[in-house]
Structure 1
Amino acid sequence: MTWLVPVSLLLPVLLLPLARLSARTRRPERAARALAAAAVVTAACGTACLVLVAATLADDIPAVVAYSRQARSRGHILPEPIPDGVAIAVTLLLAFIGWRLAAELRRRRLVTSDLHAVGSARDWLLVVDWESPRAVAVPPRHGRRGHVLVTSGMLRLLDPRERAAVLAHERAHLSHRHYRTTALAAAAAAVNPLLRPVESAVWLLAERSADEDAARAVADRRLVAQTVAKVALAAHSDGHTLGFGGSSTVRRVEALVKPHAGRQRPGGAPDFGAVILAAASIAVAAAVLYEFVELFLAWLPTH
């Protein structure tokens, strides 16, 4: 079996340094979308290679066997077939991957349905009488528009300016469609668990992007940083991390208080290390797909 098989499954390793670098970028929205797209491409590449390995089970079909013998008799060199045991194991792995992906998609669908079932929003806002301090952007579903759900506990916790920051943050999630960006990263991680750190990085970047929008809306970065910390502490003490807040609060606060601490070059030029890592990932992915397309075509009859 070619060495590119394990390489295709380990491609996420190349994305991990890129995820760490992007966490401090000064352009979180752009980085979130790029990293999510890279995760999807990487997961798709690995899955495609597994599909092609599983497809070599077809080399037992009489037409394929006859073609292979005929090709060898003409002096054509064919790649060594992958053992059936390996191909069967890969087929089972693909079934497991499909189950994980379906479970992730179903979980997100159920969460969105539950949030919509809480009530109907007026314009874009729904206030519910819950003690727990929560705020979350509810994605659109089945023709119903997306909206912001905020609890009475959250409103009591904050002063008017802090409330404005929270609402601007959640509205930014809707306007940038972060529910799609994070869903793509989560789907990629469901396909390949090595992408879990990349999924976390995409989530952090989406939060930071919304923080930046909130800071522009209230014209006070320190107020937003203070609100992020305040809500995160309240959510932690209440045992919840849904929506505003979370385990990456320190990074978010630091990015708001020290907006120029990132590694991005002046003038918006990209970090060369990130460019090199991205190029390496694309090159390896292309090599993997080319290798297995050649393998697959070699074991199929041409007529």
Structure 2
Amino acid sequence: MSYAVWVPLLVPFLAAPTARRAAAYLSPRHAVVLLTTAALLPAATSSAALALLAVPGASYLPAVAALGELARPLSLGPPPVTVALALAAGGVLAWRAGLVAVAVRRDRADLRRARAAAGGTAGELAVLRQARPDAYALPGRPGRIVVTTGMLRALEPDERAALFAHERAHLRGRHHRVLVAVELAALCHPALRTLCEPVGYALERAADEAAAAAVGDRRLVARAIARAALAARAASASAPDRPRAALGMNAGPVPRRVAALLDTPLAVPSTTSRPAGRLVVAALVICLTVSGATAVDAVEDLHGHVEMAQGQNLTR
């Protein structure tokens, strides 16, 4: 098998930091799309590369050889090296798949508990009688806005309207799906873990902008975010019991979000410029293209080896 199979395993180490830098030059909505693509595509191609590395070693098993109608095993070199690579790649792939399965099961359990705590009423708003200020968008059918009585007391009526608009934007945009998808992708390759925080920030910023458009006042949304975050921090140091997939108004780097709504220099890096932004985005596109192209090339190369092992190389 050619060197191409190794490229998708290495690209995420370059694509992830490039994607984080590129997101700073984009609007929140476009940053979400870019970061999500930068997580899902390398996760898929790197997982495919591990599978491709495992296939030649597996071909030494009689059952696999019979299933593939192989006249002889595939090989990446000496049989001990091929088998060792297959065992390592297969082990990593199985371990990652197990982590993904556990995460999916945990998130589903968290959502079930949260829906049960929110009650079975049909209304969009679910009010929990809790002193700790908290509010979040609870995904489901239908999605609901969960807010505690502590949060309602901490905000003024117009700030509550901004909060509801923010959480409604999360539900309408299905932001929880993006967050979960990126977190699962991060379990497929260690380099992709650094994309979870930027994606969470971009999702909150997208909801901030949607809330500002809904209430028609960016300063009001900024004030509501700051007051909600201060109230939650002052009330308790304990971690909130919201599900991992639920997004809330007081999450993420609040000073940056407030600065972005107020259009202050804190919102973006001081070194940003349009030419630099285009260059960084182009570099990311190149990384993702190379990752996808080399994965396809590795598949085609393996297919050629399979045909030869099946004795179908007479026409080559």
Q: TM-score, normalised by structure 1?
A: 0.85
Matched, 1:129 2:129: yes
Encode CA deviations 1:144-201: one digit per residue, 9 max, x unaligned: 3111111100000000111111110000000111011111111101211211111211
Cα distance between partner residues in 2 of 1:226 and 1:284: 43
Matched, 1:273 2:280: yes
Matched, 1:145 2:149: no
Asked whether the equivalents of residues 8 and 295 of structure 2 are also in contact (C-alpha less than 8 Å), the reply is yes
Equivalent in 163, 174, 180 of residue 171 of structure 2:
174
Counterpart in 1 of 2:32?
32
Cα distance between partner residues in 1 of 2:31 and 2:71: 51
Match runs of 1:6-25 below 5 Å: 6-13=6-13, 14-25=15-26
Counterpart in 1 of 2:220?
223
Cα distance between partner residues in 1 of 2:251 and 2:214: 22
Encode CA deviations 1:57-109: one digit per residue, 9 max, x unaligned: 2332466773579xxxxxxxx85365201211211111100111011111211
Aligned in 2, Cα 1:156/1:48: closer, same or farther, shift over 3 Å? Answer: same
Asked whether the equivalents of residues 173 and 210 of structure 1 are also in contact (C-alpha less than 8 Å), the reply is yes
Tell me how far 1:17 sits from its aligned partner: 2.0
C-alpha RMSD of the superposition:
2.7
Counterpart in 2 of 1:101?
100
Tell me how far 1:21 sits from its aligned partner: 2.7
Asked whether the equivalents of residues 79 and 298 of structure 1 are also in contact (C-alpha less than 8 Å), the reply is no
Partner of 1:66: helix, strand, or coil?
coil
Counterpart in 2 of 1:72?
none
Aligned in 2, Cα 1:133/1:125: closer, same or farther, shift over 3 Å? Answer: same
Counterpart in 1 of 2:310?
301
Cα distance between partner residues in 2 of 1:166 and 1:255: 17
Cα distance between partner residues in 2 of 1:159 and 1:264: 38
Counterpart in 2 of 1:90?
89
Asked whether the equivalents of residues 48 and 295 of structure 2 are also in contact (C-alpha less than 8 Å), the reply is no
Counterpart in 1 of 2:55?
55
User: Unaligned 5+ residue runs, structure 1?
Assistant: 70-77
Counterpart in 2 of 1:75?
none
Asked whether the equivalents of residues 36 and 199 of structure 1 are also in contact (C-alpha less than 8 Å), the reply is no
Asked whether the equivalents of residues 172 and 210 of structure 1 are also in contact (C-alpha less than 8 Å), the reply is yes
Partner of 1:123: helix, strand, or coil?
coil
Tell me how far 1:287 sits from its aligned partner: 1.3
Cα distance between partner residues in 2 of 1:230 and 1:5: 51
Structure 1: which amino acid aligns with 2:30?
Answer: R
| Stretch moving more, 234-243 or 80-89 | 234-243
| Stretch moving more, 282-291 or 256-265 | 256-265
Encode CA deviations 1:263-297: one digit per residue, 9 max, x unaligned: 5859xxx7342133222222233113312441354
Counterpart in 2 of 1:45?
45
Partner of 1:148: helix, strand, or coil?
strand
Match runs of 1:185-264 below 5 Å: 185-237=182-234, 238-239=236-237, 240=239, 243-258=248-263, 263=272
Structure 2: which amino acid aligns with 1:248?
Answer: P
| Stretch moving more, 254-263 or 45-54 | 254-263
User: Unaligned 5+ residue runs, structure 2?
Assistant: 243-247
Partner of 2:7: helix, strand, or coil?
helix
Cα distance between partner residues in 1 of 2:229 and 2:264: 20
Q: TM-score, normalised by structure 2?
A: 0.82
